[in-house]
Amino acid sequence: MDDLGKCSPCFRDYTELRRLADRRRKMTYLGIANAIVVAAVSVWAWRSRQPNVITAHNHIVADMRNRLILRGEQGPGKGPLVFERGFDDVSFYLPEGNRPGTYEVAIFQEEPGAPLATATGTATIENGMTQMNVTLDLSRIAPGYYLVGIRLPGADWSYSPLIIK
């Protein structure tokens, strides 16, 4: 070790080894920094391609009395229902004469078509009104105009216009 300060070739070798060690350490840090940047950009790119999923839980009252479309005619003076995107807990008030039982509810792009979201609920009669509660997952449905359909299993759908905001 004493020779290092006295011998010029030894000092040169020591300086070169130290320079190589510093360079190796800097390259390691640069590699780690590059890996972090690549990972961050990859996560950002992956997340930007994911659909905009809404996770809000909304409670909606849908009064279907005098609203359902039967054979293309809309109920008197009623505009479309409005549901929010997310997970909607919907309380349906069904038209007079609907009986208690298990009903299917579905959201359609067009009539007839494959449902975009479905749910089932049990309707009961309370104070002379048929009502049921269902939870619809509308988190992945884009805002726009749709149809909400309601039926007893095996029966025809009754539709009503719907706006999803």
Query: What burial class does residue 91 get, using C-beta atoms within 10 Å of its C-beta: 0-12 exposed, 13-18 middle, 19+ buried?
Result: middle
Please tell me whether residues 75 and 8 are part of one structural domain: no
Q: Which domain holds residue 39?
A: 2-49
- The pLDDT score that the predictor gives to residue 6 is 65
Per-residue pLDDT of the chain (165 residues; tens, 9 = 90+): 556 566 777 778 888 888 898 999 999 999 999 999 999 998 888 777 755 555 667 788 888 887 755 544 444 546 888 988 888 889 999 988 888 999 999 999 887 788 999 999 999 998 888 999 999 988 888 899 999 999 999 898 888 899 998
User: Is the same domain home to 118 and 85?
Assistant: yes
Of 49, 67, 82, the domain-final residue: 49
Domain count, the chain: 2
- Verify that 112 and 68 share a domain, yes or no: yes
Closest C-alpha to 162, from 60, 39, 56, 44: 60
Q: Are residues 130 and 86 in the same domain?
A: yes
Question: In the chain, where does DSSP find H-type helix?
Answer: 2-6, 8-49
Domain co-membership, 34 together with 76: no
In terms of residues, how long is the chain?
165
Cis amide leading into 143 (omega within 30): no
Residue 89 and residue 36 in one domain? no
Q: Is the whole-model pTM more than 0.75?
A: no
Phi, psi dihedral angles at 139 (to 5 degrees): -70, -25
